[in-house]
Amino acid sequence: MRRARPTLGILGGMGPLATADFYHRLVARTPADADQEHLPVLIWADPAVPDRTAALLGEGPSPVPALAEGARWLRRAGASCVAVPCNTAHAYVEQVAKATGIEVLDMIKAALDAAADAAPAVERVGVLATRGTCRAGLYERAAAPRGVEVIQVPEDVQREYVDAAIRAVKAGADLDGPARWIATAAAALKERGADVVIAACTEIPLVSGLAARLVPLVDSTDALVDAALARLWRPDAATPA
C-alpha cells in the first residue's frame, strides 16, 4: 500500500535560476539515506509573473493574480503547503494564502530565525535585498516584535552594487563581478553596525561567497529550505518502492 505523504509545492519562476537553486538545496539538505526518503515536490515556475519590485514601486502590475493561479494549481495537484523562493514576493503571500486557502511558509521569519542563531545577542540585522523588499519593509515589520533593528545599505550602494548584482544574476552574466559587488554591500552593512547580514534576495546567495568572509551571513534560501523540512520531512514517511 502506498501511503499519502506530505508534499511541498514550490511557487517559483522568480527568477528561474533561484527556483532551481532552491530545489537543489532542498535535496542537498534533506537528511535522506535513499531516494524514497526525499520529499515529494511539485514545482510551478512561471517566469511571466509580473516583477514584484516594479509593482511595489508603483511601476508595474500586481503579481497577485499570477501567484494565486500558481498556488491554486499546486493545491489542486496535492501540495500540503507552498514555499515561495522569492523574498520580494512575500509582500503578497498573505493575499495569495487568503485567496487560495493554502498554507504559505514564511521565508522572512525563517531568515530572521536563522539570523538569531548565527550570532550571539543579535541586535542589528543587515539586509541585502531588492528595492521592493526594502520599500515594503518586510524585514522591518517581522523584526520589530523581536526588538531587532534592520539596517539597509545606503542608496548609492543599493543602486550601484545590490541592484546591479541581482540584475546580473538574472541575466546569466559572469558571477565574479556580482560576487565582488555583494561583498562591497555587505561591508557597508558591517560598517553601519550589522551583527549579521541576510542575503534577502534569492539571487544573492548565488554570489555571496566573498561577503560571507566579511560578516556572518544568513542565506534566506537555506532558511526557507530548513523551514520546509521542519514542516514536512519525516524520516519514517517514505513510500515503499
pLDDT tens profile 69-110: 999 999 999 999 999 999 999 999 999 999 999 999 999 999
Active-site residue, from 14, 39, 43, 86: 86
Helix (H, G, I), strand (E, B) or coil at 42: strand
Question: Is residue 239 pLDDT above 70, yes or no?
Answer: no
Question: Does one domain contain both 186 and 100?
Answer: no
Question: Does one domain contain both 130 and 193?
Answer: yes
Quote the percentage of the chain above a pLDDT of 70. Answer: 97
pLDDT value at position 5?
A: 85
What sign has the CA pseudo-torsion 90, 91, 94, 97?
negative
Do the domain assignments include residue 239? no
CATH code for position 169 = 3.40.50.1860
Q: Please, which pLDDT band fits residue 3 given cuts at 50, 70 and 90?
A: low
For residue 30, with 0-12 CB atoms within 10 Å meaning exposed, 13-18 middle and 19 or more buried, which class applies? middle
Active-site residue, from 186, 201, 217, 227: 201
Question: Does one domain contain both 90 and 136?
Answer: no
Which range marks the domain in which residue 33 is found? 8-106+224-232
List C-alpha distances in Å: 101 to 97, 131, 152.
Answer: 5, 29, 33
Question: Does one domain contain both 126 and 216?
Answer: yes
Residue 148 in contact with residue 123, Cβ under 8 Å? Answer: yes
Quote the percentage of the chain above a pLDDT of 90. Answer: 93
- Number of domains present in the structure of the chain: 2
Instruction: Count Cβ atoms below 10 Å from residue 158 Cβ, excluding itself.
Output: 19
pLDDT tens profile 114-129: 999 988 889 999 999 9
Question: Does one domain contain both 72 and 37?
Answer: yes
Rg (CA), the chain: 18
Question: Is residue 63 pLDDT above 60, yes or no?
Answer: yes
Residue 50 and residue 67: Cα distance in Å, rounded?
A: 9
Q: Is 81 a catalytic residue?
A: no
Q: Is 86 a catalytic residue?
A: yes
pLDDT tens profile 194-238: 999 999 999 999 999 999 999 999 999 999 999 999 999 987 765
Do the domain assignments include residue 118? yes
Query: DSSP code of 213?
Result: G
